[in-house]
Amino acid sequence: MSLDAVLSRIDADLDAATDRLKDLLRIPSISTDPAFKADCDRAADWLVADLQSMGIEASKRATPGHPMVVGHIDGPGPHVLFYGHYDVQPVDPLELWDRDPFDPQVEDTPKGRVIRGRGSSDDKGQLMTFLEACRAYKEETGTLPCRITFLFEGEEESGSPSLVPFLKDNAEELRADIALICDTGLFDSRVPAITTMLRGLLGEELTITGPSKDLHSGMYGGPAINPIRVLSRIIAGLHDAEGRVTVPGFYDGVPELSPEVAEQWRRLGFDEAAFLGDVGLTTPAGEHGRSALEMIWSRPTCEVNGISGGYTGDGFKTVLPSKARAKISFRLVGQQDPHVIRENFRAYVKEQLPPDCSVEFHDHGASSASTMPTDHPAFEAARHAMTDEWPDPAAYIGSGGSIPIAGHFQDILGMDSMLIGFGKDDDQIHSPNEKYDLESFHKGTRSWARILEALKVT
Q: For residue range 228-265, list pLDDT tens digits in order.
A: 999 999 999 999 999 999 999 999 999 998 888 888 89
The pLDDT of residue 1 is above 70:
no
Indicate whether 261 belongs to any domain. no
Q: Final residue of a domain: which of 339, 367, 395?
A: 367
Q: What is the pLDDT of residue 458?
A: 85
The region of weakest confidence among 138-147, 225-234, 361-370 is 361-370
Tally of structural domains, the chain: 2
The sheet with strand 358-367 has its strands ordered as 301-309, 323-332, 200-209, 358-367
- Number of Cβ within 10 Å of residue 442's Cβ equals 19
The pLDDT of residue 322 is above 80:
yes
What count of Cα atoms within 13 Å lies in the side-chain half-sphere of residue 341?
Answer: 32
The pLDDT of residue 17 is above 80:
yes
Please give the backbone phi and psi of residue 348, each rounded to the nearest 5 degrees, phi first: -60, -45
What is the average pLDDT across 341-370?
Answer: 96
Indicate whether 292 belongs to any domain. no
What is the average pLDDT across 213-237?
Answer: 97
Indicate whether 389 belongs to any domain. yes
Burial class of 59 by CB neighbour count within 10 A (0 to 12, 13 to 18, 19+)? middle
Q: What is the pLDDT of residue 352?
A: 96
Indicate whether 84 belongs to any domain. yes
The pLDDT of residue 174 is above 60:
yes
What is the average pLDDT across 450-457?
Answer: 95
What is the average pLDDT across 97-117?
Answer: 97
Q: Final residue of a domain: which of 348, 367, 386?
A: 367
Let me know whether 103 and 247 are in one domain. no
Q: How far apart are CA 33 and CA 173, in angstroms?
A: 30
> Cα torsion for 360, 363, 369, 370, to the nearest 10°?
160
Let me know whether 395 and 331 are in one domain. no
The separation between CA 458 and the C-alpha centre of its own chain, rounded to angstroms, equals 28
Indicate whether 284 belongs to any domain. no
Let me know whether 215 and 185 are in one domain. no
Let me know whether 313 and 444 are in one domain. no
Quickly list DSSP for 329-375.
EEEE-TT--HHHHHHHHHHHHHHTPPTT-EEEEEEEEEE--EE--TT
Query: Do you find a cis peptide bond into 93, omega within 30 degrees of 0?
Result: yes
Report the DSSP beta bridge partners of residue 419.
181, 195
Confidence of residue 400 (pLDDT cuts 50, 70, 90): confident
At 10 the three-state DSSP class reads helix
CATH number, domain containing residue 207: 3.30.70.360
**Are 299 and 265 within 8 A, CB to CB?**
no
Indicate whether 264 belongs to any domain. no
Quickly list DSSP for 217-258.
HHHHBTTB--HHHHHHHHHHTTB-TTS-B-STTTTTTPPPPP
CATH number, domain containing residue 439: 3.40.630.10
Amino acid at 414: G
What is the average pLDDT across 198-204?
Answer: 94
Let me know whether 204 and 116 are in one domain. no
Spatial CA neighbour of 401 closest among 387, 383, 381, 421: 421
What is the average pLDDT across 83-100?
Answer: 97
Percent of the chain with pLDDT over 90: 92
Confidence of residue 275 (pLDDT cuts 50, 70, 90): very high
Burial class of 275 by CB neighbour count within 10 A (0 to 12, 13 to 18, 19+)? middle
The pLDDT of residue 442 is above 90:
yes
Task: Look up the domain containing 347 and give its range.
Answer: 200-254+300-367
At 268 the three-state DSSP class reads coil
Longest dimension (CA), the chain: 85
Indicate whether 267 belongs to any domain. no
Let me know whether 318 and 375 are in one domain. no
Let me know whether 431 and 341 are in one domain. no
Let me know whether 241 and 121 are in one domain. no
**Are 405 and 368 within 8 A, CB to CB?**
no
Alpha carbon distance, N-terminus to C-terminus of the chain: 18
Spatial CA neighbour of 268 closest among 392, 402, 183, 372: 392
Let me know whether 324 and 343 are in one domain. yes
- Number of Cβ within 10 Å of residue 63's Cβ equals 16
Q: Final residue of a domain: which of 332, 348, 367?
A: 367
Quickly list DSSP for 165-212.
HHHHHTHHHH--SEEEE---B-SBTTB-EEEEEE-EEEEEEEEEE-SS
Indicate whether 445 belongs to any domain. yes
Q: What is the pLDDT of residue 453?
A: 96
Q: Rg of the Cα trace of the chain?
A: 24
Spatial CA neighbour of 118 closest among 44, 49, 42, 31: 31
The pLDDT of residue 455 is above 80:
yes
Q: How far apart are CA 208 and CA 401, in angstroms?
A: 29
Let me know whether 244 and 356 are in one domain. yes
Let me know whether 118 and 237 are in one domain. no
Per-residue pLDDT tens over the stretch 26-56 = 999 999 999 999 999 999 999 999 999 999 9
Q: What is the pLDDT of residue 403?
A: 84
Let me know whether 193 and 204 are in one domain. no
